[in-house]
């Protein structure tokens, strides 16, 4: 009985040491992965990296991590025209992360995630100067906000023969993803004063698109929806680089 008790104590102690060693190892690996991701993507701040699953050391022995979660507070994505657009609160879940023997690179089999583009950032895609939409009539978008039910509320400032309308013209627009671009298109065109305006001219103001060509690790835009705080995007990808 005494020998059995001693054996149980030894097992408990060794188990505790293994758990402690495992947690120390995973914490070190998370910090190292976060630093490599920061350098690979040239991020302004170190991202959050969480390696899921237990035990970590047996995953390391197998050369592949089951699930890695990454959080990036702000990310400057390329827009294709030499500019950038800020993406906030990017959260990605990476599955089947294989890494090299020296841990210099890591690639996920698949990745999904979400992020937000504020309405102020999306305004970068809008023409800033008034556009002539008819004889003596100019218009430009002055504001974007949540229109409810997944729509964007678009406010347009218009002038008729040099006289600004007393109130902005409002309309609801749908937002979609096409060819790495966020596209915004009016559901129905507004009437500005008594002018009879051509649809093509008016849509040159109301409809716009924002390209997003580069996201971390090669993930891509998948879906988009208007929310209270901005446009929420979902992203996905395969063979996504976590580091290297």
User: Strand locations in 2-63, DSSP E?
Assistant: 48-51
Residues 13 and 65 reside in one and the same domain: yes
Residue 225: inside a domain, yes or no? no
The domain tally of the chain equals: 2
Name the least confident of 45-49, 96-100, 230-234. 96-100
Domain that holds residue 85: 2-115+237-243
Q: Are 199 and 189 in contact (CB under 8 A)?
A: yes
Q: In 3-state terms, what secondary structure has residue 84?
A: strand
Distance CA 30, CA 53 (A): 13
Residues 102 and 63 reside in one and the same domain: yes
Average pLDDT over residues 54-76: 81
Q: Are 226 and 170 in contact (CB under 8 A)?
A: no
Residues 109 and 128 reside in one and the same domain: no
Average pLDDT over residues 94-116: 82
Q: Are 85 and 196 in contact (CB under 8 A)?
A: no
Residues 66 and 101 reside in one and the same domain: yes
Residues 6 and 27 reside in one and the same domain: yes
Residue 227: inside a domain, yes or no? no
Which of the given ranges, 51-55, 174-178, 200-204, has the highest pLDDT on average?
Answer: 174-178
Residue 16: inside a domain, yes or no? yes
Distance CA 225, CA 111 (A): 19
Q: What is the band of 57 on the pLDDT scale with cuts at 50, 70, 90?
A: confident
| pLDDT of res. 89 | 93
Residue 97: inside a domain, yes or no? yes
Residues 71 and 10 reside in one and the same domain: yes
Calculate the average pLDDT of the chain.
82
The model's pLDDT over 115-125, given as tens digits with 9 standing for 90+, comes to 999 999 999 88
pTM given for the model: 0.83
| pLDDT of res. 59 | 75
Cα–Cα distances (Å) from 84 to 25, 144, 210, 222, in that order, read 37, 19, 10, 19
Instruction: Answer with the residue of higher pLDDT: 105 or 75.
Output: 75
Residues 126 and 195 reside in one and the same domain: yes
Residue 224: inside a domain, yes or no? no
Average pLDDT over residues 10-24: 51
Residues 22 and 48 reside in one and the same domain: yes
Residues 132 and 168 reside in one and the same domain: yes
Residues 36 and 111 reside in one and the same domain: yes
The model's pLDDT over 132-180, given as tens digits with 9 standing for 90+, comes to 888 888 889 999 999 999 999 999 998 888 888 888 888 999 999 988 8
Residue 18: inside a domain, yes or no? yes
Residues 55 and 95 reside in one and the same domain: yes
Instruction: Answer with the residue of higher pLDDT: 100 or 84.
Output: 84
Residues 106 and 137 reside in one and the same domain: no
Average pLDDT over residues 174-200: 82
Q: Using DSSP bridges, classify how beta strands 106-117 and 84-99 pair: parallel, antiparallel or unpaired.
A: antiparallel
Q: What is the band of 18 on the pLDDT scale with cuts at 50, 70, 90?
A: very low
Mention every residue, 6+ apart, whose C-beta is less than 8 A from residue 167.
none
Name the least confident of 65-69, 148-152, 191-195. 191-195
Question: Beta partners for 220?
Answer: 236
Residue 108: inside a domain, yes or no? yes
Residue 221: inside a domain, yes or no? no
| pLDDT of res. 19 | 53
């Amino acid at each position: 009985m005494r020998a059995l008790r001693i054996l149980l104590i030894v097992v408990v102690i060794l188990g505790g040491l293994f758990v402690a060693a495992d947690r120390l190892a995973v914490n070190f690996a998370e910090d190292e992965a976060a630093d490599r991701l920061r350098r690979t993507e040239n991020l302004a701040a170190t991202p959050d990296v969480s390696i899921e699953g237990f035990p970590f050391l047996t995953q390391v022995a197998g050369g592949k991590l089951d699930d890695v979660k990454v959080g990036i507070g702000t990310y400057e994505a390329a827009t294709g025209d030499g500019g950038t657009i800020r993406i906030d609160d990017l959260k990605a879940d990476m599955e089947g992360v294989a890494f090299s023997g020296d841990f210099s690179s890591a690639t996920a089999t698949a990745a999904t995630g979400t992020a937000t583009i504020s309405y102020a950032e999306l305004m970068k895609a809008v023409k800033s100067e008034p556009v002539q939409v008819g004889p003596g009539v100019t218009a430009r978008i002055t504001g974007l906000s949540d229109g409810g039910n997944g729509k964007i509320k678009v406010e347009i400032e218009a002038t008729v023969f040099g006289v600004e309308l007393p109130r902005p013209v409002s309309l609801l627009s749908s937002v979609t993803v096409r060819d790495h671009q966020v596209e915004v298109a009016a559901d129905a065109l507004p009437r500005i004063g008594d002018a009879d305006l051509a649809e093509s001219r008016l849509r040159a103001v109301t409809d716009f698109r924002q390209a997003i060509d580069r996201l971390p690790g090669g993930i891509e835009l998948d879906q988009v929806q208007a929310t209270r705080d901005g446009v929420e995007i979902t992203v996905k990808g395969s063979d996504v680089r976590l580091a290297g």
